[in-house]
Structure 1
Amino acid sequence: DEPDRPFAYSVIRVGGNLGFAIGPSIGGFISRYSYALTFFASFLLQIICVFLIVYLVSSKGESVNVNVKKEVSFGEVFKHKNFIVFIAGTFILSLLMGQLISTLSVYAKSKGLDNVQIGYLYSINGFMVVFFQMLIIKIVDSVGYKKGLILGSLLYSVGYFYFTFSRNFVNFAVGVVLLTLGEMLAMPLLTTITSAMAPEDKRGLYIGFLGFIEGLSWAVAPFIGGVLIDMFLKTPILIWGTVASFGLLSSLIFMKVKFN
C-alpha cells in the first residue's frame, strides 16, 4: 500500500547499509596487509550472495490486476512534465551524493587520514542508517514527502560543506553525520515519490528511469569530484562549496515539483 512504501524502501536501505557499515572497516583493516586479499574477500562474499539469493529468496509474489503494455520506452516518461522536473532535481542531487565514495576518500587521505579511519567514516554512515532510518521515516510522515526531500537536500549540502573545515578524523566524522541525516531523509523519498507520481501500469518504467538517472549521475560525479580536487585541493571551500551547491540547486528544483 502507498502509505507503507517509505517504510518498505527504508527497510531495503537498512539491509544494504548494514553491509555498508561493516564492509569499509573490514576492508580498511585487510588493506593494511594486502589489497589483493581485499578484492578476493569481496569476490567470495559475492559468491555467497548468489547462493543466498538462489536458495533463499522466493520469486513468487501476489498477482496484481493491471494492464501492462508489452512494449514500453523511457520516451513515455518525458510526457510527464512534472516528473521530469523532479528527475532534474534528482540528477543534480545525485551528483552530490556521488561524492561520498571517491571524492571524500581521496580528500580525507590528503588531510592525513589512513585507510582504517576512512573506513570508519563509511561505517558511521552505514550504522546511522541501520539504527536511525526508521525514526527518520516517522519524522517524514509528519512533515510530508516534499518538505522531507527538500530538508534532506539541504542537510546534504551542509554536511558536504562542513568538509571545508575538516582537518582531522573527528571533523570528518561530524560532516559524515550531517550528510547522513540528509541521506536518510532524501534517499527513500526519491523512490517513494517516483512510485507515487507514476501511473499504476507504468510504475516499473518510472522507477527504472529513476535508477537510470541515478546511475548516470553517479557515473559523472567522481569525474566532477576528481576535477575539483585536482584544481582546488589547496582551496577546499571551492571544492565543497561547489559540491554543496548541487544540494541547494536540487532543493530549489524540488520546490517547483507539484506533489501532495
Structure 2
Amino acid sequence: MIVTTIKYYKESFRGLSREIWLLSLIMLINRSGMMVIPFLTLYATQELNFSIVKAGLLTASFGLGSIAGSALGGWLSDRWGTYKVMSYSLLLGGVGLITLGFIKSYWLLMIAIFIVSTIADALRPAVMSSINDYSDPENRTRSISLIRMAINLGISIGPAVGGIVAGTMGYVWLFVLDGVTCLIAAFFLLRLLPEKSSHPEEIEEANDDPKQSVYKDYIFIAFVAVNLINLIAFFQILSTVPLFFEREWSLSEFQIGLFFTLNGLIIFLFEMPVIFFTENLKRSFFWVIVGAAMIGLAHASFLLPGHWLVIFLAYSFLVGFGEILNFPYSNTWALKRGSRGSLGQYMGAYTMMFSLAFLIAPILGTQILDAYGFEVLWYSMAGLNTLSVLGFLLIRNKISD
C-alpha cells in the first residue's frame, strides 16, 4: 500500500517540462525571500516610530501597488512578451526592495513602496501567462500546481527566516535579502530558462478567435467577479479565522501557527496527486465549483457544535482541499479562456482579482465581526461561497468548459 502510494505520488510529477521545473525553482527562490511584507507594520512602528495608522497605510500602499502591478504586468506581457516582463520585474524589483530599506521619510517611503510593489507584482501575470508557453494542454493544471507548490513553500520559508534576520541583524536586512533573492531569481531566469514562443496550434486558434480583449469577454469578467466573491470569503483565513481561534477557542499563538503549518502541509503533500487524479475525470470548471463549495462548507463548520479539535481539523481539510481544487483549475480555465493575442490581459485581470480580494477580505470580515460577532460572520462567509457556487454554475451553463 505504501509502495503504491509513493509510486502514484511520483507519477503525479512526471511529464512536466524542464522549463516548468526551472520556473518553479525561480519562484521558490523569489518567494523564499518574501520577508518585507510580514514585518512591514512592525518595521514602520518600531524602527521608524510611525503610528499604527500610518503603518497600516504603508501596507495599503503595497496592496494598491500589487493591483496596479497585476494590470501593468498583464498589459506589458501582451506587448513585450512574458520573458522580458519576468526579467525586468525581478531585476528592477530586487533593486527597488533594497532601496526601500534606506528610505526614512514617510511620504517618500509610501510612494516608493507603491512603485516597487507595482514593479514586483508585474511578475505574477507574466509567470501565469508563460505557463502556456512552457507546458502542454494535457498537463497544464499540474504545471500550475507545481508552481503553486514552489510559491507556497517559499512563502513558508521567507517569514520564518525574516523573523530571525529582524531579531538578530535588524529590519534593514529584510529589504536587502528580499531584494537579493529577486536578483538571484533573475540570474537563474536569464541563465537557465530559455525564452519560448507559443505553441503553433494555440496561435492558430487565437487568430480564429474574435475575442481579443478581456474587457469585451463578459463571461470572463463575470468569472472574475464571482471568483472575487469566493476569494473574499477564503481570505478570512488570514484575518478573522486566527481571531476566532484565539477568542473563541483560546488557542495560543503556537497552536494557531500549527494550523497554518497543517494547511501548508495539506497543500504541499496533496495538491499534485489530487490534480493528477482529477484532471481526466471532469472538465476544469467542474472542479472550480467543487472547490468553492468545500471552502463554503469549511466556514459553515464553525457553526456546528462539537469539540474544537474536531471542527479545527474539519475546517483545515475542507479549506485546504477546497483551495487545491478551486485555485489551480480556475487558473487553468482562465489560461484556456484567454485569447493568444491578449493572454497577458486575462492573467492581469485574474491576478488583480487576488490582490483586490486580499485588500477587501480583512476590512469586510473585521467590520462584520465587530458589528455582529462570529456567528453572523460565518453565516455571511458561507453565504458568499454559496453565492459564488451559484455564479459558477450559471457561468458553466454559458460555456463549453
Give TM-score scaled by structure 2 length. 0.56
**Conserved 8 A contact 1:195-1:206:** yes
Q: State which drifts further: 167-176 or 80-89.
A: 167-176
For residue 133 of structure 1, report the CA deviation from its aligned partner: 0.5
Distance 1:23 1:228 in 2: 31
Q: Structure 1: which 5+ runs fail to align?
A: 68-74
Which of the residues 265, 287, 295 maps onto 1:148? Answer: 287
Distance 1:49 1:145 in 2: 34
Structure 1 SS opposite 2:194 = coil
Structure 1 match to 2:376 = 238
1:115-157 deviation per Cα after TM superposition (whole angstroms, max 9, x unaligned): 1111111111111111100122123311221211111000001
**Conserved 8 A contact 2:284-2:330:** no
**Conserved 8 A contact 1:107-1:229:** no
1:70-110 deviation per Cα after TM superposition (whole angstroms, max 9, x unaligned): xxxxx932311221221121111111122110111122121
Structure 2 match to 1:159 = 298
Which of the residues 321, 330, 354 maps onto 1:214? Answer: 354
| Residues 35, 240 of structure 1: alpha-carbon distance in 2 compared, 3 angstrom cutoff | farther
Structure 2 match to 1:121 = 259
For residue 49 of structure 1, report the CA deviation from its aligned partner: 2.2
**Conserved 8 A contact 1:21-1:124:** no
**Conserved 8 A contact 1:98-1:217:** yes
Question: How does 1:87-98 map onto structure 2 within 5 Å?
Answer: 87-98=224-235
Whose Rg is larger? 2
**Conserved 8 A contact 1:146-1:259:** no
Distance 1:38 1:203 in 2: 43
For residue 45 of structure 1, report the CA deviation from its aligned partner: 5.3
Which of the residues 183, 187, 192 maps onto 1:55? Answer: 187
Which of the residues 131, 140, 164 maps onto 2:269? Answer: 131
Which of the residues 121, 146, 150 maps onto 1:15? Answer: 150
After TM superposition, what 4+ stretches of structure 1 lie above 6 angstroms from structure 2?
A: none
| Residues 254, 161 of structure 1: alpha-carbon distance in 2 compared, 3 angstrom cutoff | same
**RMSD across aligned C-alpha pairs, in angstroms?**
2.9
Distance 1:10 1:259 in 2: 23
Q: Which has the higher contact order (CA 8 A, sep 6+)?
A: 1
| Residues 158, 224 of structure 1: alpha-carbon distance in 2 compared, 3 angstrom cutoff | same
Distance 1:177 1:42 in 2: 33
**Conserved 8 A contact 1:91-1:214:** yes
**Conserved 8 A contact 2:369-2:376:** no
Distance 1:88 1:109 in 2: 32
**Conserved 8 A contact 1:161-1:241:** yes
Structure 2 match to 1:72 = none
Structure 1 match to 2:339 = 199
Question: How does 1:100-111 map onto structure 2 within 5 Å?
Answer: 100-111=237-248
For residue 213 of structure 1, report the CA deviation from its aligned partner: 1.9
Structure 2 match to 1:71 = none
Distance 2:256 2:391 in 1: 33
Give TM-score scaled by structure 1 length. 0.83
1:189-235 deviation per Cα after TM superposition (whole angstroms, max 9, x unaligned): 121111111111111110111111221122111111101221233xx
Residues 1:247 and 2:381 aligned together: no
1:41-91 deviation per Cα after TM superposition (whole angstroms, max 9, x unaligned): 865652452243133223632134759xxxxxxx93231122122112111
| Residues 129, 38 of structure 1: alpha-carbon distance in 2 compared, 3 angstrom cutoff | farther
Distance 2:226 2:388 in 1: 4
Distance 1:134 1:244 in 2: 27
**Conserved 8 A contact 1:228-1:239:** yes
Distance 1:117 1:54 in 2: 37
Q: State which drifts further: 14-23 or 90-99.
A: 14-23
Distance 1:89 1:38 in 2: 44
Q: State which drifts further: 210-219 or 184-193.
A: 210-219
Distance 2:174 2:312 in 1: 26
Letter in 1 for 2:246: K
Structure 2 match to 1:6 = 141
| Residues 38, 136 of structure 1: alpha-carbon distance in 2 compared, 3 angstrom cutoff | farther
1:9-55 deviation per Cα after TM superposition (whole angstroms, max 9, x unaligned): 1001111222345567x48xx69xx9866994865652452243133
Distance 2:370 2:362 in 1: 12
Which of the residues 72, 82, 89 maps onto 2:219? Answer: 82
